[in-house]
Structure 1
């Protein structure tokens, strides 16, 4: 029993790390595409590719299309609303704030997840997990060194985004008691496809564009990709399918308070992408912050393999 629990938690943590890698790839693709394409178009193409992969490969491997039947319809609708709100909020803030400061504010997500897991899932979060969250967040602050400019009204946008992502993770943990990871990934992806298609129909002609960066993240006209940009859209879609599946697997296998600190790994990954893709070599503060982030995750993983406790599995309520 103890060994099985350790294996489950370790596999869930590895899934969370894999999801962080996949989502960091999505961030890179968005950086490439956001100047020329509206958010709804990036999301639309990403959703088409991700949904195709889910339906053709991932769902058949996890049990077939019967796993899409769910008793948690209301929870999945709430998850779709939460992740849509999170994306719009974060990327709108990203358009008007410096990247580092927007990311720093958005990384409040793991802390919010840990708090919500105590309040709504009744999970027990001990000092080691709280310490991992706090040390990881300290690493983020060391890296980005947010100044007073981060606390302007626009800074509320990525914070609202972090609240949306945290809500998504808590709902995923709630639904994960009976639904497969592929099911947890399928419904938000389908929701993204429908919402982005509707946004394209409404805003695609460009008549709503204002010239203001904050609003034109959504209101820019549709533009057909050219050349290698098709490949970037495809990479975003593949990463979305993998990341969505892995994050669902992580939150259904492990307590939310355990998984949350490993989301901080996305920040050192951003450093790696900056070096490899944009030739942005980090300074000493970035290396120090990355060491704190990775160290917090490794200590949390070590602690979990030493003294695991039975994770409470909330029973999903039938709402469909």
Structure 2
């Protein structure tokens, strides 16, 4: 039976924070491009560039041999999960503010904490689970169930897309924890980017001519199905930045969930919330509505509580260990 890697919480936390900074930049850049390019073209270009950076890291971590795996089907499922997570999130991002989409997506750490119990056998106590419930209450508030459809920024389906993204992302990260026992972070990143490339090529073959976007006004559907276009000269630098960024994201998050318990690392993904508000204000002149602020407060509050709870437990365990000596 294969054992899980030693829990190196500090390094795992550092990697997840670096990954969230990269994700916030990635989301901002993609939202900027969403008005002129189809999503599958952006995904193809950034993954094509990103896989080259990841292959460089493969050489650093052990060479081509580390790309061999005994679980190709599980890696494929993991890749498809992150494809669904990304595409559902970015389709929503084209229609709603950056902070709103990001805040709704932050159901992911809550899902990870809950799902780590049956999937990984991790222990999550009553106090920490209560904090998770508070976080989910914040997600419900941001969905504004009391509001009529006309008063919302987008349809109910679009508002639920970041939550679907959160669930599939959580399942992906739990699989990362399992598969990371025998796979390097750079290899995990290569597998995912390869799946992105295959899926985006499939989209191009089916919808690359833009026929499914003809006569459609919905910005999310347009972003998903508009025709491919040759990037403007100034946008190539953005595409290059996206490619480098996706390599950083894939490596950092894979390392984070290989090194530490999912329930310990997940709360630190909340650093992406204030970053999304910052980019939304700076680049798009967007500030969240009061419901989003309330949801952010509840999610951040629950995440901070979980973090403090973990530190308290660690101190108690350390004192007990000293006494036993």
TM-score range (shorter-chain normalised) is: 0.7 to 0.9
Aligned with 2:233 (options 223, 227, 241): 227
Residue 166 (str. 1) matches residue 170 (str. 2): yes
Corresponding residue for residue 79 of structure 2: 80
In 1, Cα distance between the equivalents of 2:129 and 2:89? Answer: 25
| Number of residue pairs aligned between Structure 1 and Structure 2 | 303
**2:117–2:124 CA contact under 8 A, matched in 1:** yes
Aligned with 2:222 (options 207, 216, 236): 216
Correspondence list, 1:18-97, <5 A: 18-56=18-56, 58-97=57-96
In 2, Cα distance between the equivalents of 1:262 and 1:145? Answer: 23
Corresponding residue for residue 189 of structure 1: 193
Unpaired stretches in structure 2, ≥5 consecutive residues: 318-325
Change (3 A) 1:134 1:218: same
Aligned with 2:179 (options 175, 178, 186): 175
**1:59–1:182 CA contact under 8 A, matched in 2:** yes
Q: CA deviation at 1:28?
A: 0.5
SS in 2 for 1:53: helix
When structure 1 is superposed on structure 2, of 133-142 and 103-112 the one drifting more is 133-142
In 2, Cα distance between the equivalents of 1:128 and 1:63? Answer: 42
Deviations 1:212-242 (A, max 9, x none): 3243222100011112211111111111100
In 2, Cα distance between the equivalents of 1:12 and 1:5? Answer: 11
**2:99–2:273 CA contact under 8 A, matched in 1:** no
In 1, Cα distance between the equivalents of 2:166 and 2:123? Answer: 22
**1:68–1:183 CA contact under 8 A, matched in 2:** yes
In 2, Cα distance between the equivalents of 1:29 and 1:168? Answer: 23
Q: What TM-score does the superposition give when structure 2 sets the normalisation length?
A: 0.81
In 1, Cα distance between the equivalents of 2:237 and 2:127? Answer: 42
Change (3 A) 1:271 1:171: same
In 2, Cα distance between the equivalents of 1:215 and 1:289? Answer: 27
Corresponding residue for residue 254 of structure 1: 260
**1:10–1:305 CA contact under 8 A, matched in 2:** no
RMSD of aligned alpha carbons = 3.0
Corresponding residue for residue 111 of structure 1: 110
In 1, Cα distance between the equivalents of 2:162 and 2:295? Answer: 21
Change (3 A) 1:167 1:36: same
Corresponding residue for residue 243 of structure 1: 249
Unpaired stretches in structure 1, ≥5 consecutive residues: 310-320
In 2, Cα distance between the equivalents of 1:202 and 1:153? Answer: 24
Corresponding residue for residue 323 of structure 2: none
Q: CA deviation at 1:155?
A: 3.1
**2:97–2:280 CA contact under 8 A, matched in 1:** no
Q: What TM-score does the superposition give when structure 1 sets the normalisation length?
A: 0.82
**2:51–2:247 CA contact under 8 A, matched in 1:** yes
Q: CA deviation at 1:130?
A: 3.5
Change (3 A) 1:283 1:181: same
Residue 13 (str. 1) matches residue 13 (str. 2): yes
Deviations 1:171-218 (A, max 9, x none): 111111111111111101111011112212322222232333243222
SS in 1 for 2:86: helix
Q: CA deviation at 1:295?
A: 6.5
Deviations 1:24-82 (A, max 9, x none): 111001111001000001101110111010112x1111122211111221210111111
Corresponding residue for residue 208 of structure 2: 204
Q: CA deviation at 1:284?
A: 9.2
